Structures are given as C-alpha cells and as structure tokens.
C-alpha cells in the first residue's frame, strides 16, 4: 500500500514537518516525485519513522540513530549493546545529579518550613552561603551531562 506524505505522517503518528525533517537529516529517503501525482511512501517508511521516534524517546540523538539505521551484519548486536550501555551510563549520571538537586531543594524547603527569624528567608540565606554554592555547582555540572 502506497501512502502520501500526509498519510505516512498520520500512520507514524508524527507531523508532516517531522517527516520532512527526517528527510533533510538523511534518516528517511525522499522518493522520486512522479511527473503527475504525489510522492509515494511504503509501510517500511512508517516502520522506519517509528524506529526513529522510539530511539529518540530512549535518548538517542539523530547521529546515534543514523548509526543504528546503517548497522548490518554480525557486529550489529555488539555495536548496539555498546551504544545502549553508554546511553545508560549517561542517564544514570543525570539521575544522580537530579537526585542531588532534589535533596538540596528538599533541605531548603524544610529550612523554610521550620521556625526561623521573621523577615529572614532560610532559602535565600542558603543560596548565599559558600556551602550551598559548592553543592549547586557540583549538582549543576553533573546535570549538564
């Protein structure tokens, strides 16, 4: 069954501009346009777009996805395993950084909720101290991974 770009996008649950973006990025081939009529796409194109979207959901960037789409042969599992392992380590580092940020914010909120001198904000005081700055720098640099 042949699909127009609009029907392709609908079947893959993306917008037409997403299809065009993938074509410009080299992730999806643009079929030849017949002299009369519209370009025709196949069910394989729908599957390819869905693959790209699922890979993006897992945090793979377009370069990673292009590499995954080009893999073929006996090395495919080793290469994909290595890529997934690297991505997993990055995700774990980001989670640790976010947990550190959460812990710092929870501490600040608890300070604010406890009894304190009226007119003095414990959160502002905490942000102004060198100790808080060091914690934020460490957490922010880890979160930027």
pLDDT, tens only, 43-82: 999 999 999 999 999 999 999 999 899 887 888 888 899 9
Token pair, residue 64, equals 């990673």
Q: How far is CA 76 from CA 49, 69, 71, 85, in A?
A: 20, 10, 6, 14
Q: What is the CATH number of domain 5-70?
A: 1.10.1660.10
Enumerate the domain spans of the chain.
5-70, 77-143
Q: Are 83 and 67 in contact (CB under 8 A)?
A: yes
Token pair, residue 103, equals 């812990």
In this prediction, residue 133 carries a pLDDT of 52
Q: Which residues of 84-112 are buried (b: 16+ CB within 10 A; e: fewer)?
A: eeebeeeeeeeeebeebbeebeeebeeee
The pLDDT tens digits of the residues spanning 78-105 come to 889 998 999 999 999 999 999 999 999 9
Q: Are 23 and 29 in contact (CB under 8 A)?
A: yes
80 phi/psi in degrees, rounded to 5 = -65, -35
Q: Are 111 and 123 in contact (CB under 8 A)?
A: yes
Helices (DSSP H) in 4-144: which residue ranges?
5-12, 16-24, 43-57, 62-70, 76-113, 122-128, 130-143
Q: Assign 140 a pLDDT band (cuts: 50, 70, 90).
A: low
């Amino acid at each position: 069954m042949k699909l127009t770009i609009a029907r392709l996008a609908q079947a893959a649950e993306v917008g037409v501009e997403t299809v065009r973006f993938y074509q410009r990025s080299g992730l999806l081939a643009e079929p030849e346009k017949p002299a009369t009529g519209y370009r025709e796409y196949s069910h394989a194109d729908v599957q390819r777009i869905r693959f790209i979207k699922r890979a993006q959901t897992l945090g793979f960037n377009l370069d990673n996805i292009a590499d995954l789409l080009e893999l073929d042969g006996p090395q495919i599992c080793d290469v994909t395993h290595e890529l997934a392992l690297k991505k997993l380590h990055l995700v774990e580092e980001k989670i640790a950084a976010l947990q550190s940020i959460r812990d710092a914010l929870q501490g600040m909120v608890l300070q604010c909720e406890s009894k304190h001198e009226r007119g003095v904000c414990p959160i502002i005081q905490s942000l102004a101290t060198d100790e808080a700055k060091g914690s934020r720098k460490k957490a922010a640099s880890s979160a930027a991974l």
